[in-house]
Chains A and B, each alone.
Chain A
């Protein structure tokens, strides 16, 4: 048995922590996350409020947990949609070649040039700020990334002997893409998805910080940060905790993605070890 890469283990542990907290928040939080207790505002950590309370006396742990759930949900939806559409486009590009491939890849280049933030602001201006806007914006920005990854890997697989054999057996390009290409490009696509997951968490936090994402009272790490900003000198802990959560989640998924890549391409891992 090969030893698992260290980054995979650390990333996996951090991701497990975040996902457990997020899942738990669906059925249980220490306190209702929106319950205000004004007399008890800015409470220090205690047995009842583990990390204390905010400016309205709301329990910080409960808010952070629900925010984790929101963040995971947004990232999961956005990356899934982006990965699905992008992978399909990449598969089509590799299978058809010619001008279809050219058109898809040039459109991808166009998508790459488009800043996520600008796109999200446009959507928010048109439809009003919400987490749905955030999901759509991140998903859209992810499509070209996955189209490129899928197409590059698919082109390699198209040159394999078993694809030639499938063609000799009269299979069409759709059947070959589904049966032979897709399973063999799954590894790079999954690695990319994990890395994009980290980026999506950060983007969601940034958009919510700017007020384009989660709307009050829905808790979000980004929005908690922006509310804590005005109270920085009074209660710095209100900014530190959501910031730390973002840090842990992004680092966790980043390391996990890195680790999965090392696992799927051992040569890369070795080369890195020698650097």
Chain B
């Protein structure tokens, strides 16, 4: 559905997203996992044509067979109106405090689908029902401050679904929510994706949430893809030391309070200080001499792909 080839984003101090390929098929559910600054949101925004003007985007962007590389803002806007949509981390600030939530959801219907006010209201009501908003009729005329965080996120999902998009990008949709509400929202997203045959790109730093939601996972770090593979592979047979580190850092009930939670040593350096080679060099437990200077290619394996010198060396050594 969407194909990104050699996509890269450069900021004033250097690359923020290094040349990367990415594609998502119709109805597919893909997760992107990574820390802050890993480039996961930039990758998503470049698919929406919404990267800030201060940054430069390069590479080929193909949406449903259309080359959007040099598309105008108007072309992008029409695409966002009909085919692509996005929900965000902070459901409070993503809703206009002075606008009834029903009007917010009805606006794109009236603008893009030519609905009358009454039709748009009826459609908004059915979207509210579909996204599991309680007392949908009453909610339509309420303001954001009258809704709970979970309800607000559902309103934003209803807004995103209004024009039947082919792809929904969810950028950390659950990070600002309680654990239980977060679970319900992820389940809702999976259900909607299945029922509507809508592709879902789920972006999060929470591996557990992503693994519940997706069929395929991309692990990013420092503006680079570290590893990709089916959700099962990533969760149970990951090859990359960064992914392994992330998995080990998950708290588990069985060991809670018995031992310190393992962490990845160090912290993410600012983009201009990242190593030129493998972005993870310097924090990697199995680092080799040339890791910091040579960028490892993303090597396909039977179950996915990983970008790691060690992984390649081990594979060829084992043969």
Q: Are both chains from one complex?
A: yes
Show the binding face of A for B, using Cβ within 8 Å.
Answer: 160-162, 164-172, 175, 179-180, 183-184
Would you call A175 and B159 a contact (CB within 8 A)?
A: no
Q: Of the candidates B88, B97, B111, B160, which one forms a contact with A171 in the assembled complex, judged by CB atoms under 8 Å apart?
A: B111
- Once the chains are docked, how many angstroms separate the CA of A162 from the CA of B82? 19
Contact A175 B111 (CB under 8 A): yes
Q: Which residue of B lies closest to A165 (CB)?
A: B94
Contact A171 B108 (CB under 8 A): yes
Q: Report the Cα distance A165→B99, complex, angstroms.
A: 14
Chain B residues whose C-beta falls within 8 Å of the C-beta of A171 in the assembled complex:
77, 81, 107-108, 111
Q: Which of B68-82 contact A (CB under 8 A)?
A: 77-82
CB neighbours (8 Å) of A166 from chain B are 96, 107
Question: By the criterion CB–CB under 8 Å, are A170 and B156 in contact?
Answer: no
Q: Does B93 contact A (CB under 8 A)?
A: yes
B-chain residues with CB within 8 Å of residue A161 when the two chains form the complex: 88, 90, 93-94
- Tell me, yes or no, whether B125 is within 8 Å of chain A by CB: no
Task: Note all chain A residues with C-beta closer than 8 A to B111.
Answer: 170-172, 175
State the Cβ distance, B193 to closest chain A Cβ, in Å: 18
Given A165-B156, A168-B50, A169-B162, also A179-B99 (CB < 8 A): yes
Chain A residues, Cβ within 8 Å of B112: 170
- Whether the Cβ atoms of B108 and A184 lie closer than 8 Å is no
B96→A179 contact, CB < 8 A: yes
CB pair A167 B96 closer than 8 Å: no
Q: Give the dominant DSSP class at A's interface.
A: helix
How far apart are the CA atoms of A171 and B163 in the complex, in Å?
12
- Beyond A161-B88, A161-B90, A179-B107, whether A168 also contacts B96 by CB under 8 A is no
| Residues of chain B whose beta carbon lies under 8 Å from any beta carbon of chain A | 48, 50, 77-82, 85-88, 90, 93-99, 103-104, 107-108, 111-112, 156, 159-160, 162-163
Q: Could you list 29 A-B pairs, sorted by A, with CB under 8 Å? A: A160-B93, A161-B93, A162-B93, A162-B96, A162-B104, A164-B50, A165-B86, A165-B95, A165-B156, A167-B77, A168-B50, A168-B80, A168-B160, A169-B81, A169-B108, A169-B159, A170-B77, A170-B82, A170-B111, A170-B163, A171-B108, A171-B111, A172-B77, A172-B111, A175-B107, A175-B111, A179-B107, A180-B96, A184-B96
Q: Please measure, in the bound complex, the distance between the C-alpha atom of A167 and the C-alpha atom of B111, giving whole angstroms.
A: 13
* Chain B hits for A172, CB < 8 A: 77, 111
Alpha-carbon gap, A183 to B103, bound state (A):
14
Q: Write out the residue numbers on chain A whose beta carbons fall within 8 Å of the beta carbon of B79.
A: 170
Q: Is the CB of A183 within 8 A of B98?
A: yes
Cα(A84)–Cα(B279), bound, Å: 54
Cα A146 to Cα B38 with chains together (Å): 42
Contacts of A179 in B (CB 8 A): 96, 99, 103, 107
A5–B205 Cα distance when bound, in Å, is: 47
Query: Whole-angstrom distance between the alpha carbons of A268 and B98 in the complex?
Result: 22
A167 touches B80 (CB 8 A): yes
Which residues on the A side are within 8 Å of B50 (C-beta)? 164, 167-168
Enumerate chain A residues within 8 angstroms of B103, measured Cβ to Cβ.
179
Known contacts A160-B93, A183-B96, A184-B98; is-contact A168 B48 (Cβ 8 Å): yes
With A171-B108, A175-B111, A179-B99 as contacts: A164 and B80 at CB distance below 8 Å: no
Tell me the smallest distance from the CB of A149 to a CB of chain B, in Å. 18
| List of A residues within 8 angstroms of B163 by Cβ | 169-170
